[in-house]
Chain A
Amino acid sequence: MPDLNDLKPDVFVPQLLNVARTTAGPLWDDIQQTASHEFRVLALRIRDIGEGVASGDVSRTAARILFRMAKRNLIATIAMLTIMIEAAAQKLVNAVLKEIKSIVNGALGFTLV
């Protein structure tokens, strides 16, 4: 027997928001932690290169090569974060859509979506 009460906005929307919150929360925390870690590591690498040059252990030409590698890692980090954000958005949208499907089909008593 269909129960259309489940399709009322005050029932339907909080359920979707709950799914969105529980899905997005851990993903966003992961992105924040990864970004923070990678930028801290990058700063350490640049400091290490600088210290190597200052102590005379690393030549200036070698330092330029190493610094360019660090710059590439920065570009790669931005690309990696973009992938993480897009993947998180994909998981969030799909989790909400799955919930819509479940609520609608459950309320109607047959597979509509």
Chain B
Amino acid sequence: MFYSLPQRALAVLFILFLSACSGLRLVPAYNPDIVDGINAYHTEMLEFISTMETKRTPISGSYKSEPVTTFYAASDAALGNLVVQAEALEPNDDCASSRVTNLGLGLVTAEVDAVRTELDEALGRDTPALTDADLSTGSCTAIVLKALRANHNSMADLHRLEGKLVKPTSTLLRDLMNDSVRIALTAENAKR
């Protein structure tokens, strides 16, 4: 069915007027819980890396020590909760730009498996770690948070690989984790 130009113009005006009453929403509302969660993680992560840099004995700064494994597990759980919160707010949303970037970078191809196999062999583990989060599906907020969580788990992998977390590797890690946190905070703050 075809509509005349005036009819279509009237329809557009009507939609605009309806929108004027309620306001258009393209992004979900700003969520202070997500910002608080990211900030809490950031503080703990910076403190953890600083502490690790000063612990050069085989036991105190070792990946296998209890405070270290506790930190990685607890922080992973906290970040996992943030991802779920974001997914719950936009369960059917799709961040098309990330999907395209992901495909372009080849992160969803065989390259992932090759790197994972190499890491698994280097770390001598039987089951793959949770470092290959799916960054091609979900809302943009969920993808930003999944990237932060995956990078946290990569930090654990690197710690496990090196045994200890000392400079200069720890400096590179801190910079990359700071970047992940800043990106996640900027994304959430843009919704204000």
Q: Which residues of A contact B (CB under 8 A)?
A: 34, 38, 41-42, 45, 48-49, 52, 57-59, 61-62, 64-66, 68-84, 86-90, 93-94, 97-98, 100-101, 113
Contacts and interface: CB of A to CB of B under 8 A. Distances in A.
A83 B172 contact: no
Contacts of A58: 168-169, 172
Contacts of A113: 17, 20-21
Contacts of B115: 64, 68
Contacts of B36: none
B183 A73 contact: yes
Nearest to B115: A64
Contacts, number: 154
B172 A79 contact: no
Interface stretch (B3-11, B38-46, B98-106): B98-106
A71 B177 CA distance: 12
B19 interface: yes
A45 B179 CA distance: 10
B180 interface: yes
A73 B158 contact: no
Given A41-B179, A61-B161, A80-B186, A73 B119 contact: no
Contact of A83 (B21, B141, B148, B180): B141
B16 A78 contact: no
Interface of B: 16-17, 19-21, 23-27, 95-98, 101-102, 105, 107, 115, 118-119, 122, 131, 135, 140-141, 143-144, 147-148, 150-151, 154-155, 157-158, 161-162, 168-169, 172-173, 175-177, 179-180, 183-184, 186-187, 190-191
A69 B154 contact: yes
Contact of A66 (B19, B158, B184, B186): B158
A73 B180 contact: yes
A61 B140 contact: no
A80 B144 contact: yes
B16 A100 contact: yes
B168 A83 contact: no
A58 B176 CA distance: 15
Given A69-B177, A79-B95, A88-B190, 7 more contacts: A66-B158, A66-B169, A71-B107, A72-B135, A75-B98, A83-B141, A97-B20
* A-B interface, 6 closest residue pairs, ranked by CB to CB distance from nearest: A76-B147, A80-B187, A79-B140, A97-B20, A72-B147, A90-B26
Contact of B98 (A69, A82, A101): A82
B151 A61 contact: no
Given A52-B169, A61-B119, A76-B183, A97 B23 contact: yes
A86 to B, nearest CB: 4
A83 B169 contact: no
